[in-house]
Amino acid sequence: MIQKTEPAGSLAGTIQMPPDKSISHRAAMFAAISSEISIIDNYSSAADPQSTLSCLRQLGVSVQQTGNRVEIKGVGRDGFKKPDSPLNCGNSGTTMRLLAGIVSAAGIECEMVGDDSLSSRTMKRIIEPLKQMGASIDGRDHEFAPLKIGLNSGIKPIRYPLPIASAQLKSCVLLAGLFGEKPTEVVETVQSRDHTERLLNLKSEAYGSGKLIQSSRSDVIPAQSYAVPGDFSAAAFWLVASSINPESKLSLKHVGMNPSRTGAFHILEEMGANFEISNSTFAGKEPVADLTITSANLNPINLDPKLIPNCIDELPVLMVAMCFADGKSVISGAEELRHKETDRLSAMAEILTASGAEIELKKDGMVIYGDPQFTPRPARFKSHHDHRMAMAAAVLATRGSGLSEVEDAECTAISYPDFWTHLHQLIQS
């Protein structure tokens, strides 16, 4: 589907953020490995978290969904059944990487498959530590889905210094660690999102300049009432859209404000964005708040590479913000973007260049020569079937000189099914 996106003039209104994708996945998986019934309120209806639910059903877990409320009857760590057909993870890297940690440690013979994008993303990063732990797992060319998972003769503990700052990798190893008699230890030197540790209450301690996190069979996984906050990564599109469009004011309700996720908030604040935080509270173990954002004159920024894992999913839309800052912004240390649903560095370079922005693409980042007067030229933007590319292009187009188009626009349903409705609701022109 091609979506037409008009210049906004300004944006105004109040919207409820879609439920957080990362937390939805985790709540469902953790509920499945507990031994009782858990209720998850505000579960995401987006395609990725729905892939997690369908994989759990295939593994014999009872999942009842009524609107955004999901009831899961946990089967315990040893209660999964061998699925009759391959577990289909769709487009979802989190489903494949986290669930592979669980099913390979549980020794469930199965195959895990995904769509073309997921099948081209490396799984070597999880295959290696899982093999070290004694799990039986391999992939096409020892690297890609389909993954083949088999029986094992017990999970051995490892001490694993994370070679990449990836929450999916960290979570995969910690979840496999839950099946070992002795603690598995993950050493994290650069903070990535901490939902797994937080929701499972895993032990962690300071270790050098980072953290050592532990998991083992003795960790109790209680049935919980989960309340999923609004997705900060979805909110980021509006933080930028409202900042770059004159006379705009947006209120976003119930946004997840976990400090390991809100790097983009602080980056935009440093760039001069105008934010107000209100109604700070907790949704279960996760902090949430309402945010109000008004237009701002943005300054350029030289991003600290250590912040990259904290804003990895928001970088594409931050690049859009940088196009309207008054001078040169630099992103480096962001090579991980090349391993997402598409190569997001190249895809964003293509989108920004098509709009007439002045940028230089680097191996691990981008230099963006911003201009507050920049007026993107109307273009047909390629999303490469990547939800975050489609939404970043749409935000860019709100400042355009005419009607733009976004290709494969339906891919926003991967994380934010109401994105286009919200955009059209908020545009004031």
Helix, strand, or coil (residue 1): coil
Helix, strand, or coil (residue 188): strand
| Segment lying near ligand S3P (by CB under 6 A), choices 10-18, 57-65, 162-170, 372-380 | 162-170
Q: In the bound complex, what is the minimum distance in angstroms from residue 347's beta carbon to ligand S3P?
A: 14
Q: In the bound complex, what is the minimum distance in angstroms from residue 167's beta carbon to ligand S3P?
A: 4
Q: How far is CA 405 from the centre of its chain?
A: 25
Check residue 193 for interaction with ligand S3P (CB under 6 A). yes
What is the C-alpha to C-alpha distance for residues 30 and 175, in angstroms, rounded to an integer? Answer: 9
Check residue 91 for interaction with ligand S3P (CB under 6 A). no
Find the binder of ligand S3P among 5, 22, 216, 243 (CB under 6 A).
22
Residue 163 C-beta-side C-alpha neighbours within 13 Å: 5
Which amino acid appears at position 274 of this protein?
A: N
**Residue 271 near residue 299, CB atoms below 8 Å:** yes
Task: Name which of 202 and 427 has its Cβ closer to ligand S3P.
Answer: 202
DSSP structure class, residue 19: B
Check residue 407 for interaction with ligand S3P (CB under 6 A). no
Q: In the bound complex, what is the minimum distance in angstroms from residue 304's beta carbon to ligand S3P?
A: 17
Residue with tokens 């391993």, as numbered in its chain:
339
Per-residue interface string for the shown chain with ligand S3P, residues 303-332, x marking contact by CB under 6 A: ---------xx-------------------
Q: In the bound complex, what is the minimum distance in angstroms from residue 238's beta carbon to ligand S3P?
A: 18
Task: Name which of 5 and 166 has its Cβ closer to ligand S3P.
Answer: 166
**Please, which of residues 336-355 interact with ligand S3P by CB under 6 A?**
336
What burial class does residue 419 get, using C-beta atoms within 10 Å of its C-beta: 0-12 exposed, 13-18 middle, 19+ buried? buried
| Segment lying near ligand S3P (by CB under 6 A), choices 165-173, 267-275, 300-308, 325-333 | 165-173
Q: How many residues sit close enough to ligand S3P to count as binding (CB under 6 A)?
A: 11
What is the C-alpha to C-alpha distance for residues 293 and 237, in angstroms, rounded to an integer? Answer: 11
Check residue 168 for interaction with ligand S3P (CB under 6 A). yes
The full DSSP string for 366-400 is: EEEE--TT--PPP-EE--TT-HHHHHHHHHHHTT-
Q: In the bound complex, what is the minimum distance in angstroms from residue 246's beta carbon to ligand S3P?
A: 31
Check residue 167 for interaction with ligand S3P (CB under 6 A). yes
* Angle at the Cα of 104 from the Cα atoms of 102 and 105, rounded to 5 degrees: 65
Check residue 197 for interaction with ligand S3P (CB under 6 A). no
Find the binder of ligand S3P among 38, 58, 91, 94 (CB under 6 A).
94
Check residue 166 for interaction with ligand S3P (CB under 6 A). yes
Extended strands (E) in 268-414: 274-283, 286-294, 328-331, 358-362, 365-369, 380-381, 404-406
What token pair was written down for 316?
Answer: 């594409």
| Segment lying near ligand S3P (by CB under 6 A), choices 51-59, 166-174, 181-189, 257-265 | 166-174
Task: Name which of 18 and 378 has its Cβ closer to ligand S3P.
Answer: 18
Residue with tokens 């008054």, as numbered in its chain:
326
Which amino acid appears at position 73 of this protein?
A: K
How many residues does the structure list for the chain? 429
Check residue 364 for interaction with ligand S3P (CB under 6 A). no
| CA-wise closest residue to 253 among 1, 7, 54, 18 | 18
* Angle at the Cα of 347 from the Cα atoms of 236 and 252, rounded to 5 degrees: 10
Check residue 192 for interaction with ligand S3P (CB under 6 A). yes
What is the C-alpha to C-alpha distance for residues 215 and 157, in angstroms, rounded to an integer? Answer: 9
Check residue 262 for interaction with ligand S3P (CB under 6 A). no
CB count in 10 Å sphere of residue 380: 12
**CA separation (Å) from 158 to 132, 183, 198, 220?**
7, 8, 21, 20
Instruction: Give the residue closest to ligand S3P by C-beta.
Output: 22
| Segment lying near ligand S3P (by CB under 6 A), choices 36-44, 167-175, 203-211, 351-359 | 167-175
What is the torsion angle, in degrees rounded to the nearest 10, for the CA atoms of residue 6, residue 12, residue 16 and residue 18?
30
Task: Name which of 283 and 298 has its Cβ closer to ligand S3P.
Answer: 283
Task: Name which of 164 and 361 has its Cβ closer to ligand S3P.
Answer: 164
Q: In the bound complex, what is the minimum distance in angstroms from residue 171's beta carbon to ligand S3P?
A: 6
Task: Name which of 48 and 290 has its Cβ closer to ligand S3P.
Answer: 48
Positions marked active-site: 313
Task: Name which of 168 and 204 has its Cβ closer to ligand S3P.
Answer: 168
Check residue 3 for interaction with ligand S3P (CB under 6 A). no
The site for ligand S3P (CB under 6 A) is made up of 22, 94, 166-168, 171, 192-193, 312-313, 336
